[in-house]
Every structure is written in C-alpha cells, then in structure tokens.
Amino acid sequence: MNDLSKAQVTWLEVAEESEAQRLDNFLLRRLKGVPKSHVYRVVRSGEVRVNSARVKPDYRLKIGDRVRLPPLRTELARKVVIPRLLDLKVVYEDAVLLVIDKDSGIAVHGGSGVSYGVIESLRSARPESKMLELAHRLDRDTSGLLLIAKKRSALVELHRMLREGEIEKIYLAIVKGVPAKKEFDIHEALHKYVNAKGERRVSVMVGGKEALTRVKRLKSAAELAVLQLRLMTGRTHQIRVHLAHAGHPVLGDDKYGDFELNRALARQGVKRLFLHAHRLAFKHPIDGQRMVLESPLPDAMLRFCQANFGTVPR
C-alpha cells in the first residue's frame, strides 16, 4: 500500500486571520515542505476546491469558506528547513502591527536560493502567533523599516493604503555623481524580465508599469551625493533602476550599479548596497492614529557620510 492510499482528503475552514488571503498563499503556509509547483498543480487541476467549486490560485478567501485539500504524496515533500532565529530589531509593535528594522543582507522571505528570511524567522520565534504577514517587501541588500501585519484586517487595510499612496516611504541612498537639480521626479515605466542566467531584472521600458520616484539632493561632494527618495509607487527594484537610468547608480549595487566603481569601493571596505528605508509615515490601519517611524543610518553608511561629506544627512 503506498502513502497516497493511506492519506485522506482534508477540509479546512477559513477563520478571521485568513480572510482576504490569496488561496495559493494560504496553501503554501499550510503545506510546508511540499514543492510550490505541486501546490499550484493541484489547484489548477481542481483537486483543491473551495466550497466544492474550482477556483483559481488568486481567489481571495472569505470567513467560513471550506477548502478541500487532496491527499498529497509524502514522497513529494522536501526536507523542511527550520529557520535560524535572526536578530531582528523591533521598532514598533502592538496587537495588529509589527515594524522591524532589517539589516542589509537579510532576505524578507525565503526563495531564490534563500531558505528563509525575516518572516520565516518571526513565525518560528513566535509559534503562538496566528498570523504574521509581510505588508510590503524590501530587497535583500536594502536595510531599514519593514511593515508586518499580525491581523488579516490590518493587512488588508495596509495593502489598500499602499495602493492608494497613503503610506509615505522615504529612503536614503548614496549615489555616483551629483544631480543638477536639488529636487526632481523620475517618472519612467518599468518592465520585469529574466536574464540569460535566470536572474530577475528590471529595466526602464515604454509600455511597462507606471513608476514614480521623487528625489531630493541632501549632500554632495567629490562626484558623490546623498539623496532622499520618496516612493510614489512600489515596483520591484524601483529606486535602483530609476537612479541608474538617471545616471546616478546607488553605490554597492551589484545588479544595476557602476561595477568598476563598486570594485574600487570594495577595496576601501564598502561591501553593501547604500540604500536604506529610513522613514514610514501613515495612519494606523485600525485606529487611524498618525504614526511616524524612523530608522537611523546604518553604521557603514554613517561612516561613509562622515568621511566623504563631513556630516550626517538630515
């Protein structure tokens, strides 16, 4: 008798903490160790059903929905990697919201060769939490403030606020060259693609997704500048691609930067992307109170500013 014949169909009822979550994300959290490709296959084949009906992976769950899980072959399950507990700095926390100050080099979630990231580590450290979900993302090499929802109602509202531009996201970057204008907008459409090595990349392209970055020059010296950047849209790699396209690549950017300059800086000890998510300002997703959270410049960026600009940008 094989493993499949012993398995039974499982029915899950959707509770409040999973309301409005996509079906595929709901399943991936519960079927840990099962390859993602297999999860999508059983959804598309109709083996997974909601209220006895076939649905697509992007179906948004409702409280009380009954989700049918088919028997899954145990041989398909991969060894589950138990996340190492990361040293995560909590900037703010209440019953529905958690804000982390993430270090450069730490992924926000597993995937693309990374076994786990911030969210997997938090879930491992807090097994009693019914829900912990990323409200947005930061690139692995970008440091700074990261919003995490602890309740489905907060996540839905944060997503709405992000779509409507109601969350002010301010970044600081050190770039090559000095922009001619003190303040300007970069309004270039962005297109995602996969290069010959299978790596995800983004480029400026007519017909791509609309993207807007507001730029303010804070400091400049010796063909370098410190910029304040406000994201008006939230596209993948938006700041890095926009600045590179404008002729001011972020120092330490190994995807879109000035590689020769990066090598010279590495010999001087610069070994990270000089991009930092510095400030978040928004209304609390539940009580509506105004919140302003800030993360100071990381040590490496701070030392570089002091050495090259004499002061810390404000």
Q: What is the dihedral of CA 229, 277, 270, 114, to 10 degrees?
A: -130
Residue with tokens 């590179």: 244
Q: How far, CA to CA in Å, does 284 sit from each of 137, 155, 167, 290, 291? A: 19, 11, 10, 6, 6
Beta bridge partner(s), residue 149 = 97, 133
Two tokens, residue 24: 């595929």
- Residue 53's CB: how many other CB atoms inside 10 A? 9
Helix or strand (DSSP H, E) at 306:
helix 299-309
Relative to beta strand 143-149, strand 275-283 is parallel
Question: Which residue in the list 139, 141, 253, 258 is annotated as catalytic?
Answer: 139
C-alpha dist (Å) from residue 52 to 28, 46, 48: 20, 10, 9
- C-alpha pair distances (Å), 116 with each of 48, 88, 108, 124, 277: 26, 14, 8, 10, 21
C-alpha 203/C-alpha 188 separation (Å) is 10
SS3 state of residue 56? coil
Active site (annotated) includes residue 299: no
User: Are 314 and 307 within 8 A, CB to CB?
Assistant: no
CB 92 within 8 A of CB 280: no
Active site residues: 139
